[in-house]
Structure formats: structure tokens, C-alpha cells
């Protein structure tokens, strides 16, 4: 009996040991199926990540572009004196009677400071920037990335395209930013913005070209005459005047911070536009831009139909494509030529006009003093008007 009991106990121990060994074998057999040890065939079937852009030796293409252009990007500090009039409250008769006739303070002067960016594009120290960066500046100071500082001279300003040229003099060699061809830029190309946004020197942001030929009228700045490059690379105050680069480190545009509410999008003046007028700005010549003096919006048959079906509409619009005159500037060529609010411009000198930005482009290609034959739709009638283009000012 004792032997049999011992045998039974040994059998129980052996059974438990066998169960433990079996559990270990099952666990080890399942181990390769855990995520960290996934089957290579399953791993290969997973979707691959998008290929990274070609990198320069020792770094990315962005680093290579910035290394090439960065030394030529400058910070521009400006100062100007502004005369301020005293608070209108001091003109109140009650105030003068209480404090005396001689108590009214005189006008006073205030020093205003600004900051922007620019880049050297010629070995003689010629710098491109935005007109609004150096607008009415009494003093311009240019600081290079290596710390050198120069007094800058504003050679020329064109408010209509928001371009300006500043000149510095140096006996030492100056870095130069290579200029590209903005006509070859495509939507989806890389865009690298370099500048000094918000006072933070030598800042770089990366994005893509999101739209081309975005007219200044569509952007909401009718006092400019530019077809912008639109990008999602961050362009903030202080970036204005700095270069927008392509993936090869060539300047394709000049950054301009023009819309405070432009969240996630920025605008740049195409470098080819700067090439057209930079020589005249360097010589101090005035750049002229023709205009006729109308505020316009794009009209389509669908938009006109929606307007005409609205019982509260105050005007019936022709259901055509064209540039709808939203307003006429007083004493302008358009006013003298007989254009009215509600007219639809369909042709300029027999060239079809189907959108507001197209009219702007046609005007830019005309000449100051040129007599333009304007075809309009007024109600259900087509009329021909003669309008003589005048010179556009910054605030026209």
C-alpha cells in the first residue's frame, strides 16, 4: 500500500511537470507571432512611406539651399520721424475756457521704428526688398548674417508692385543670392522662405507652392498690381522683403506679409516682376502703371442669375462673363469716360475680358495716356466707350 501510494504521488508530480513543460512549449511556439517579431512577408506588404526629397551631401536640400543663399539675406531696420497732432480734445472750447487759450499743446514729433528683410542680388551691394519695408524711412540700417552693418540708401520705390531697391557700399566682397525664373514655377514645387520674422533673425520655413498668379485684387489689396505666388510656407511680419527659394536655392519670389488674417498662406512677388523694374529702381526712375479707376469683381452667368432671382436685388445684371464694375473712382478716367456702377466690362481693345484679374493684366500691359476702347454690357444693351488710361498712384 505504501508503494502504491508513493507511485500515485510520483505520477501526480510527473503530470504537473508535463503540464508545465507543455505550457512552455506552447508559449515559445507562439512567440514569433508577436508584433516585435512580425513575419518579414507581412512587413513587406505594409504600405511604404513617401520617399524623402534628395538630400545634399551631409544634409537636406533645404540646408543646402539656405547655406547657398542665407549669407545674402539681410535684416533691414528703419527709422522715420512722424509729426503728431495733439488730441482733438484740446480744441474743445470748454477745455480752452477752463485751462486758458494758451493751454493747447503744439504738434510733436515721434520716432517710428520698423524692421524687415531683403537680399543682396548684385555684387555692388544692391538689395531687393518690399516698398512697405522702407516706406518714408529717414534712416535705413542693413545688417548681414555675419554681423556686418551698413547704412543703406533707398534708391527707388514702387508702391504699386510693393518693390524697392536699397544700396549699401562695402570694400569687402558681398554674398549674392542667385535669381531663378518664376515663370518656370509649378504648383506643388518646394518653397523655402528665409527672413527675419517677428524680429527673429535668420529664420527658415518650408512649404510648397499652393497657387500661381493670385491677383492682388483677389487677395483684397486693389491698390497693388501684382500676380502673387501663393505658398503655405509661413510668412510673417519681418519676413517681408526676404527671398522665397525653390529647392535648388534660387530666388523665385520676394516674400510680402500683406494680409494679417492670412492664416496658413503667404504671398510672394514673382522674381521676374522684380527683374522687369529693378534696373529703373536702381537708377531712381519712376515706374508708371496705367489705370482707369474702377473697382471690379468677376461676374459669371451663374452669379448674375442668382442675383437676378433674388427679390431683394436692386439691380438686374446681364448673364454674361466679364468684370462687374462695383464702383467708379471720382474724377478718374473711368468716370470721365462714362463708366457706371453695375456695368459689365466684356472687352478691352477687342480682347475678351472674362474675369477681374484678366482686366488687371490687360491694364498692366497698356500705356499711360493710351486711349482704350471699352466694350460694356449695361442692362440688355452693349455699348462702346473710350477711356484714356492715367498713371496709377499707390493709393489710387
Which positions are catalytic?
132, 162, 240
Nearest by Cα to 235 from 269, 190, 259, 266: 266
In terms of DSSP bridges, do strands 322-328 and 344-348 run parallel, antiparallel, or are they unpaired? antiparallel
Tell me the CB-side half-sphere exposure of residue 318, using CA atoms within 13 A.
18
Query: What is the secondary structure of 252-263 as a DSSP string?
Result: EEEEE---TT-T
With 0-12 CB in 10 A as exposed, 13-18 as middle and 19+ as buried, what is 165? buried
**What's the angle, vertex CA 303, arms to CA 301 and CA 306, rounded to 5?**
105
**H-assigned helices in the chain:** 2-30, 40-45, 61-69, 93-99, 131-134, 216-219, 271-282, 301-309, 333-337, 356-364
Other CB atoms within a 10 A radius of the CB of residue 252 amount to 26
The SS3 assignment for 234 reads coil
Size of the chain in residues: 396
Question: Distance between CA 126 and CA 152 in Å, rounded?
Answer: 10
Question: Distance between CA 201 and CA 224 in Å, rounded?
Answer: 28
Residue pair 319/350 in contact by the 8 Å Cβ criterion: no
Strand residue runs (E) in the chain:
73-84, 108-122, 126-129, 139-143, 149-158, 163-167, 190-195, 203-215, 227-231, 243-245, 251-256, 266-270, 290-291, 294-299, 322-328, 344-348, 351-352, 371-378, 381-388, 390-391
Return the DSSP state at 86: P
Amino acid at each position: 500500500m505504501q508503494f502504491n501510494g508513493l507511485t500515485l504521488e510520483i505520477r501526480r508530480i510527473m503530470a504537473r511537470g508535463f503540464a508545465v513543460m507543455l505550457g512552455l512549449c506552447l508559449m515559445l511556439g507562439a512567440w514569433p507571432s508577436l508584433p516585435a517579431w512580425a513575419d518579414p512577408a507581412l512587413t513587406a506588404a505594409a504600405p511604404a512611406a513617401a520617399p524623402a526629397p534628395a538630400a545634399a551631401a551631409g544634409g537636406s536640400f533645404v540646408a543646402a539651399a539656405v547655406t547657398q543663399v542665407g549669407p545674402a539675406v539681410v535684416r533691414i531696420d528703419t527709422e522715420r520721424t512722424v509729426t503728431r497732432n495733439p488730441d482733438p480734445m484740446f480744441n474743445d472750447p470748454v477745455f480752452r475756457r477752463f485751462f486758458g487759450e494758451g493751454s493747447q499743446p503744439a504738434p510733436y514729433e515721434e520716432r517710428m521704428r520698423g524692421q524687415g528683410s531683403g537680399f543682396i542680388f548684385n555684387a555692388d551691394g544692391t538689395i531687393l526688398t518690399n516698398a512697405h519695408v522702407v516706406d518714408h524711412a529717414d534712416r535705413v540700417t542693413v545688417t548681414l548674417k555675419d554681423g556686418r552693418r551698413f547704412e543703406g540708401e533707398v534708391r527707388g520705390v514702387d508702391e504699386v508692385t510693393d518693390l524697392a531697391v536699397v544700396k549699401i557700399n562695402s570694400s569687402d566682397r558681398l554674398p549674392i543670392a542667385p535669381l531663378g525664373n518664376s515663370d518656370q514655377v509649378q504648383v506643388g514645387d518646394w518653397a523655402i522662405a528665409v527672413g527675419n520674422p517677428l524680429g527673429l533673425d535668420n529664420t527658415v520655413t518650408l512649404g510648397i507652392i499652393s497657387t500661381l498668379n493670385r491677383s492682388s485684387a483677389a487677395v483684397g489689396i486693389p491698390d497693388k498690381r501684382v500676380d502673387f505666388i501663393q505658398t503655405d510656407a509661413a510668412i510673417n511680419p519681418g519676413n517681408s522683403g526676404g527671398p522665397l527659394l525653390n529647392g535648388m536655392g534660387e530666388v523665385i519670389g520676394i516674400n510680402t506679409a500683406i494680409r494679417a488674417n492670412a492664416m496658413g498662406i503667404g504671398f510672394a512677388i514673382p522674381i521676374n516682376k522684380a527683374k522687369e523694374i529693378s534696373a529703373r529702381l536702381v537708377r531712381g526712375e519712376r515706374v508708371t502703371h496705367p489705370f482707369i479707376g474702377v473697382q471690379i469683381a468677376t461676374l459669371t452667368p451663374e452669379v448674375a442669375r442668382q442675383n437676378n432671382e433674388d427679390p431683394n436685388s436692386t439691380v438686374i445684371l446681364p448673364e454674361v462673363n466679364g468684370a462687374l464694375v462695383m464702383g467708379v473712382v471720382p474724377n478718374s478716367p473711368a468716370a470721365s469716360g462714362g463708366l457706371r456702377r453695375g456695368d459689365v466690362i466684356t472687352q478691352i481693345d477687342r480682347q475678351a475680358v472674362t474675369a477681374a484679374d484678366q482686366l488687371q493684366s490687360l491694364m498692366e500691359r497698356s500705356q499711360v495716356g493710351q486711349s482704350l476702347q471699352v466694350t460694356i454690357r449695361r442692362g440688355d444693351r452693349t455699348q462702346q466707350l473710350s477711356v484714356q488710361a492715367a498713371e496709377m498712384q499707390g493709393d489710387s
